[in-house]
Amino acid sequence: MTEQLLRAADIVDRLEPQLKRDIDQLRAQHGKGPHLRILYFTDHSPSILFKNAQEKVARRLGITPGTQGCDWGHVTREEVKRVITQWNRDPAVHGIFVHQPLPPQLDAQEISTLIDPQKDVEGIHPQNSARRFFAKARIGSCTALAVMELIDEALRRSGGTLEGKEAVVVGHSEIVGRPVGMLLLDRLATTTVCHVATKALQQHVERADVLVVAVGQPELIKGAWIKPGAVVIDVGINVVGGKVVGDVEFEAARARAAFLTPVPGGVGPVTVMMVMKNTVEAFKLQQKG
Ligand code: NDP
């Protein structure tokens, strides 16, 4: 029987040796390997957990990580600007990743424009977003790339294709929903992007052959809405009663979906791997000059 759960470990186990080989080759060729700098928030537990995961995976792959912690409540735009400018100018730094969400005193759009587009391993600089519009992204949004890896894993197992499928994305944020929508369009899926003002969300979800949910509301999507045989990618991370849950009612969805991601252990670790993949792409771009 085909495995229904799209576990991050399956993707990570496949991608990690390839990426490690790539990094070893680059090190042999250039006498140095990629160096990733991470700006995170010291008093924000999701940021600390994510930073720890990023450091661990980077070290395993042979990417040198460096971190700068900032205080969520007190960090200023000037401080963030100073750190990013210093990393932009440093030729030993190849990738820059600023954790999101940002504290309310910082403007995400402004921060995204500060990062050198060649070092932007989250794919958020307007130059990288614009290239995505023309399906020519050199560095894509890491979460969106992770979602596509998981969809491709489902297609590998089922032998299907995305072309002509009904794809529904719930959530239209700049770092997840919108880039996922663009990547699905690039693959010729008939794509609908739902958001806070969408009327009859249930009806859209019920049509989806491929459903991607990135909202941040526990179990917003009911299992009974899932089209039998659908591929369901749950990006949401919510803590309920000390337990991490997604945006989709997991057990009920499991009874209907052909493939679905667990939360935790689905999209998150694949996103970390995509940050590393993007760091390698950024390194290559910078060696070309
Ligand atoms: P945002 O808060 O930036 O975006 C949430 C989106 O959901 C917005 O577009 C919002 O619309 C929309 N929305 C809100 N309520 C509804 C509703 N009732 N119906 C439909 N759409 C709605 O979050 P992110 O995109 O950054 O993240 C979404 C979730 O994914 C979070 O739980 C986050 O923790 C998680 N995440 C997980 C990652 C991973 O690697 N696993 C990586 C990044 C995020 P509007 O803006 O119009 O209000």
Spatial contact of 70 and 79, defined as CB atoms under 8 Å apart: yes
The residue to mutate among 237, 240, 245, 276, having the most atoms of ligand 1 within 8 angstroms of its beta carbon, is 237
Note the pLDDT tens digit of each residue in 119-148: 999 999 999 999 988 888 889 999 999 999
Rg of the chain in Å (alpha carbons): 19
Ligand 1 is surrounded, with C-beta below 6 A, by 143, 170-173, 175-177, 194-196, 198, 201, 214-217, 220, 235-238, 267-268, 271
Q: Which two tokens stand for residue 199?
A: 């009327």
- Cα separation values, 1 from 174, 231, 251, Å: 38, 16, 19
pTM value is: 0.96
- Cα separation values, 28 from 68, 95, 285, Å: 29, 19, 17
The structure tokens 């950024």 sit at: 282
Closest CA to 266 of 228, 230, 223, 214: 214
- Domains annotated for the chain, with CATH where assigned, are 31-118 (3.40.50.10860), 142-267 (3.40.50.720)
Q: Work out whether strand 210-213 and strand 190-194 pair parallel, antiparallel, or are unpaired.
A: unpaired
Spatial contact of 61 and 90, defined as CB atoms under 8 Å apart: no
Residue nearest to atom 16 of ligand 1 (CA): 196
Note the pLDDT tens digit of each residue in 90-112: 999 999 999 999 999 999 999 99
Dist. CA 203 → ligand 1 center (Å): 19
Note the pLDDT tens digit of each residue in 255-275: 999 999 999 999 999 999 999
The residue to mutate among 45, 121, 196, 221, having the most atoms of ligand 1 within 8 angstroms of its beta carbon, is 196
DSSP conformation class of 67: E
**Type of residue numbered 241:** G
Taking the C-alpha atoms of residue 183 and residue 142, their distance in angstroms, rounded to an integer, is 12
Closest CA to 267 of 73, 26, 11, 43: 11
pLDDT at 57 over 90: yes
pLDDT at residue 244 in the model:
92
Q: Which atom of ligand 1 lies at the shortest distance from residue 46's CA?
A: 34
pLDDT at residue 16 in the model:
97
pLDDT at 1 over 80: no
Closest CA to 97 of 61, 136, 62, 67: 67
Q: Which atom of ligand 1 lies at the shortest distance from residue 272's CA?
A: 40
